[in-house]
Amino acid sequence: MTDKKILDGMAKMAAKKNKALKGIKAMKLKDLKPPEISTKLIPPEKIQTSMIITLTVGGKSFIGGNMEITMKTKMDIMIKMTKHPTKNIGIEKTGCELHLLAYKTNLPSNMLPKVLNKFLNSTLEKLLPGMMCPAADNVIAFMETKIEPMFEKKSFGESSTVWYEVAEEPGVFPDYNLIQLKVKFQANNGDIVEVAPDPVPEDLPPKEEGKTTVYIPVSTINVAMMLMDGSFNSVITKIEGSTPTTDQLKEILPDADLPSGKDMKIEISPKVNATFTVSPTRSHMTIRIKASFLSVEDGAELLSVDTVQECNASFAIKEEHLAVTLKAGSCRSTEISSPAGN
């Protein structure tokens, strides 16, 4: 849309096709100001995009010399977004209207009543649709090229991939347009896991003006955690700078049957994938983990403890990634057990 050569070519094409423009020869685009763009949503399926465009065209005047006309126009483009079989989201232009708001010329003012009032009013209205409505097609094509990368496969974790597909026909509401997506994960073994969108809640928070809002179902996060199995395994070899020992552990668990004076390392691994619960009052993560206390000397397991942890969680979008933050000090054990009964 900002490419001057594209609009210049459109102006020349309009001049050739419109016989009423014989008064200006070799017409071309001289200047184009950045458009003012506004959008109106028309339920249930249409979107009207209005563009205020100021442009200057010039050419050889029929009275001799160069002639320039600066016009301020309003272009109303009616579009419809659909679920497309090959492009995910299709954007179709269903209408285009042009309105001449104002104009001025470099011709002497004493010629305006005789020439311009008669000439411009009858010819510019014919020129503008032929020159500007093809630009609307270019704008729509540009929008589609910007949308398509959203649906490309992206890496997830170390060896999985994730991508999105449109689940339902896009909907247009008075304050927003809604695109529901289903999420697909492909695990490293080739299996594809599909997460269908949850029903849209009726109590969505108000949408902020000028911002795109993304709602991610908790089920999608839980599937993602399942595919990241193994990523949360960890080994602790130092606590406050020193190697943990069985003597320290016996102070915490005096009834545990542990040998004395042995250095330990602690292996922590989830037994069940972490799951998230989100409610209007609280969001938290629940995870069942196994802590294995191993001898540094020979790797023998000295003690194992299963625990269920609940931690307060918050969610945010950071650099196009979903960030999950566990609040420091919020984790608490809701269940502790030892397979050996210790």
Q: Is the pTM of this model over 0.85?
A: no
- Quickly count helices (H) and strands (E) in the chain: 4, 17
Between strands 154-156 and 177-178, the pairing is unpaired
Residues 6+ apart with CB under 8 A from 41: 47, 48, 172, 173, 174, 175, 176, 177
pLDDT grade, residue 118 (50/70/90)?
low
Average pLDDT for residues 302-329, to the nearest whole number?
A: 85
Per residue in 125-169, pLDDT (tens digit) is 776 777 778 777 877 888 888 888 889 998 887 778 999 999 989
- The answer to whether 268 touches 294, Cβ cutoff 8 Å, is no
| Percent share of the chain, pLDDT over 70 | 83
pLDDT grade, residue 2 (50/70/90)?
very low
Average pLDDT for residues 72-90, to the nearest whole number?
A: 90
Per residue in 20-79, pLDDT (tens digit) is 445 566 767 778 788 888 889 999 989 998 989 888 878 777 666 787 888 898 989 999
CA 175 to chain centre: 18
Q: What is the per-residue pLDDT for 63?
A: 64
Q: What is the per-residue pLDDT for 60?
A: 77
Per residue in 256-313, pLDDT (tens digit) is 889 999 999 999 998 888 888 887 788 899 999 999 999 999 999 999 999 999 999 9
The average confidence (pLDDT) of the chain is: 81
List the beta bridge partners of residue 102.
72
The whole-angstrom separation of Cα 178 and Cα 213 is: 10
The whole-angstrom separation of Cα 244 and Cα 266 is: 9
Q: What is the per-residue pLDDT for 261?
A: 92
- The answer to whether 54 touches 74, Cβ cutoff 8 Å, is no
Residues 6+ apart with CB under 8 A from 195: 182, 183, 184, 185, 217, 219, 220, 223
**Residue 126 is encoded by which pair of tokens?**
């014919």
